[in-house]
Structure 1
Amino acid sequence: MLKLGVIGTGWISKQFVEAIQENGSWELTSVFSRSIEKAEKFGEELGLNIIGYRDLEQFFSSDDFDVVYIASPNSLHFEQSRQAILAGKHVIVEKPACSNPQEMKIIQQLLYKNNNVYYFEAARHFHEPNFLKVKDTVKQMNTIQGATLTYMKYSSKYDDFLAGKEPNVFSLDFSGGALQDLGVYLGYDAVSWFGLPEKVQYVATKLRNGIDGKGLALLSYPGYTVTLNIGKIANSYLKSEVYGLKETIVMDNAADLEEIRLIDGTSEQLLTQKAAANPMAAEVSDFTEILKNPTSLSSKQKMEDWLAVCVQVNHVLYELRVSAEIIFRADEQMREK
């Protein structure tokens, strides 16, 4: 059994634990939270008897788990991942893995020195059959003329922001904003399906504190442009499309990918494959396969391939932020070092 420790007790951690329970090869043993009571309650709600921690050093020095799932605020991902790697724990960190390329480079250097540790960014849709189906279909296109990808979803935390508060997801100090939170999905789409763009630009709708509530990103490729429509302060019901010559891939949602069609003039082909009820099931399955065979060369190669995409997406998101003059506290901290 793979023994898991979790940082963060929100809904996303619960969904991840439910996915590992369904998988059957994992056991949740430890939970870190700002209060032990909250950590223990998290375990109780899942029917588990776990060990609660509120001291991060004690948590990472524990022998009770081998893999840590990090679902804390974005700005904390880097430092908690760093501590985990140094403690010899495998890391599954929620997207975005890092706030900027400087943090990402340090993680890469640590992984090189600690090459027995596995590190994954939990970009869940990247592992799903429908994501891979779109990737394969794009590769088969003789001509690509661009794409329009949309993921705009009203955040439950925006009401708090409008009331004068500053939730983590709308905070520069916590590396929040639409691009960093939802744009990462579309970043994975673009990099995986089309490669690394030559040039990027982000036109952001900034809120009172300078964070981006929504925005339009333009990724320039040789001969075509990919447009990313991102937002956390409004809902969009637009479909996403990839344009070939006469054929078009049409998706209901560029992040959830529940329905995919290939339309060529008057003909239409349904490409959708049935997905698991828990959207994290596919990534958990992939992580499980690798972590149960940690000495396999193919396991290490898969992680390296996924990490390369993670690094590229991180770079694209950073360049987009820079183009819109959105500066995180994490960026300033890297400059101070």
Structure 2
Amino acid sequence: MISLGIIGTNWITKQFVDASDETKSFKLTHVYSRTEAKAQLFVDDLSKSNINISTDLEQFFGSTDFDTVYIASPNSLHFSQAKLAIEHSKNVIVEKPSASNIREFTILDQLAHQKGVFLIEAARHIQEPIFKTVQEYVETNRDQLTGATISYMKYSSKFDDFLSGNTPNVFSTNFSGGALYDLGVYTVYDAVVLFGQPEDVRYQAEFLSSGIDGSGTLTLNYNDFDVNIIVGKTKNSFLPTEIYFGKKTLLLDNGGDITKVSEAGAKKEITEIPTTKSDNPMDSESVEFARIINENDQAAYDKLFGYARKVNRILEQARMSAGLVFKADKEY
């Protein structure tokens, strides 16, 4: 198994470690956290022993007990942490989006090529078998494709804190947060993988007092159809995601975490399409990322990186169209 270091001691890092254990793809050897107590609590919660702990990033990346790092810190920290990892010749798996803007993304791309390491953006949902089912359906019926509406809105557990007068990272421009860069990145991945590169991008954002987008509507214009995306962290939505094929419609119960896929026919009859989904949605990405690294599968890596490049460019174009500026945009 590939030796793994992690940055971030939250639920998503635990889920990735659990997936790695279940699939025997990565072996956790080192944890970084700002405090030793928090890192130790995380390790204890995993019921693991002989795990090294660091509270200094230079020391962490200078260690030789892991060769791949999984980064799940706030968005604004992805660039500096991934850059430092690459400079120490570590493979990087970084939560999406991997950068705050395309300038940062390009720097990481160039540095990874120079160092000969992998830089993988962890778009886990496009690796799941249930998404592959959707992808196959779209490819089979592409000649009938007439557009899509993708919805992913979920009331954030941090929004009440924001309403009380605080500014959690996810609602701060300092940390490159907001609806588009949190939930919206899933939906943009949907569009890029299923439909390709759009011709035009426009984002209408509903701004909060912190200057961040609490929700918004993103429109992607293609040659002969449009994709309309609805994202939000300040309200709950139960709208399905729909992909249109003339008289037929493919229905997904969620734009970011698909659990059910159905087809609505010309007479509005609905037929569920058989799919499979793991209890841990990170199982598939863990297996695939480990395979790419172990087999040095450059073709598969280039395909995933191509998706990531398009997604990060679209996110920035969307922000610019809405006038949404991050602190990271002003630092260089």
1:263, distance to aligned residue in structure 2 (A)? 2.1
1:261 is displaced (CA, Å) by: 1.1
The answer as to whether partners of 1:248 and 1:262 remain within 8 angstroms in 2 is yes
Q: Distance in 2 between matches of 1:304 and 1:26?
A: 21
CA distance in 1: counterparts of 2:158 and 2:64, whole angstroms = 36
Other-structure match for 1:35: 35
* Equivalent residues in 2 for 1:159-308, closer than 5 Å: 159-266=160-267, 268-294=270-296, 299-308=297-306
Instruction: Write the distance in 1 (CA, Å) between the matches of 2:277 and 2:132.
Output: 12
Amino acid at match of 1:147: A
Secondary structure in 2 aligned to 1:78? helix
* Structure 2: runs of 5 or more not aligned: none
Q: Could you say which residue in structure 1 is the equivalent of 2:9? A: 9
What is the TM-score normalised by the length of structure 1? 0.95
Aligned to 1:319: 317
Number of aligned residue pairs: 329
Amino acid paired to 1:235 = N
- What does residue 328 of structure 1 align with? 326
Where 1:182 maps in the other structure, the secondary structure is helix
Deviates more, 1:140-149 or 1:61-70: 140-149
Give the partner amino acid of 1:274.
Answer: T
Deviations 1:267-305 (A, max 9, x none): 5443241111001111001012122223xxxx1111111
Shift of 1:107: 1.0
1:219-269 deviations in Å (ceiling 9; x for gaps): 111121100000000000001100111111111111111111122224544
C-alpha separation between the residues in 2 aligned to 1:243 and 1:293? Answer: 38
Runs of 4+ in 1 over 3 A off after TM superposition: 266-269
| Cα-Cα RMSD | 1.1
Residues 1:148 and 2:146 are matched in the alignment:
no
Q: Which moved more, 1:266-275 or 1:151-160?
A: 266-275
**Cα gap change, 1:174 to 1:140, in 2 (>3 Å):** same
The one-letter code of the counterpart of 1:278 is N
Rounded to whole Å, the distance in 1 between the matches of 2:224 and 2:184 is: 23
SS in 2 for 1:135: helix
Deviation of residue 26 (structure 1)? Answer: 2.4
CA distance in 2, matches of 1:91, 1:108: 11
Partners of 1:112 and 1:4 in 2: CA distance: 21
Which amino acid is 1:84 matched to? Answer: A
Q: TM-score, normalised by structure 2?
A: 0.97
Q: SS state of the match for residue 144, structure 2?
A: coil
1:161-199 deviation digits (Å, cap 9, x = unpaired): 001101000000000000000000000001111111111
Q: Aligned to 1:234, what secondary structure does the other structure show?
A: coil
Say whether 1:136 aligns with 2:136.
Answer: yes
Query: 2:307 is matched by which residue type in structure 1?
Result: V
- Secondary structure of the residue aligned to 1:68 is strand
Matched with 2:62 is 61
Aligned counterparts of 1:204 and 1:74: Cα–Cα separation in 2 = 19
Secondary structure of 2:145 counterpart? coil
CA distance in 1, matches of 2:52, 2:272: 47
CA distance in 2, matches of 1:125, 1:292: 21
Q: Distance in 2 between matches of 1:112 and 1:29?
A: 26
Please tell me whether the aligned partners of residues 33 and 54 of structure 2 are also in contact (alpha carbons under 8 angstroms). Answer: yes
Cα distance in 2 for residues equivalent to 1:285 and 1:196: 27
Q: Which amino acid in the other structure matches residue 307 of structure 1?
A: F
> Unpaired segments of 5 or more residues in structure 1?
none
Percent identical residues: 46
Give SS of 1:292's match. helix
Local SS of the residue matching 1:9: coil
2:23 equivalent in structure 1:
23
